[in-house]
Amino acid sequence: MSKNMSTLDRRLRAFLAAPVAAVVGVLVGPGGVAAVVLYAIAAVMLATSAAGYCPLYTALHLDTRRGRPLPH
CA atoms of 42 and 25, how far apart (whole Å): 9
Provide the 10 A C-beta neighbour count for residue 30: 10
Question: pTM for this one?
Answer: 0.84
Task: Tell me what pLDDT residue 13 has.
Answer: 96
Buried b or exposed e, range 9-22, using 16+ CB within 10 angstroms: bbeebeeebbeebb
pLDDT, mean over the chain: 91
Q: What's the first-to-final CA gap in the chain, in angstroms? A: 15
Q: Is the pLDDT of residue 3 over 80?
A: yes
Contact at 8 Å (CB) between 66 and 7? no
DSSP state, 62? -
CA atoms of 35 and 1, how far apart (whole Å): 30
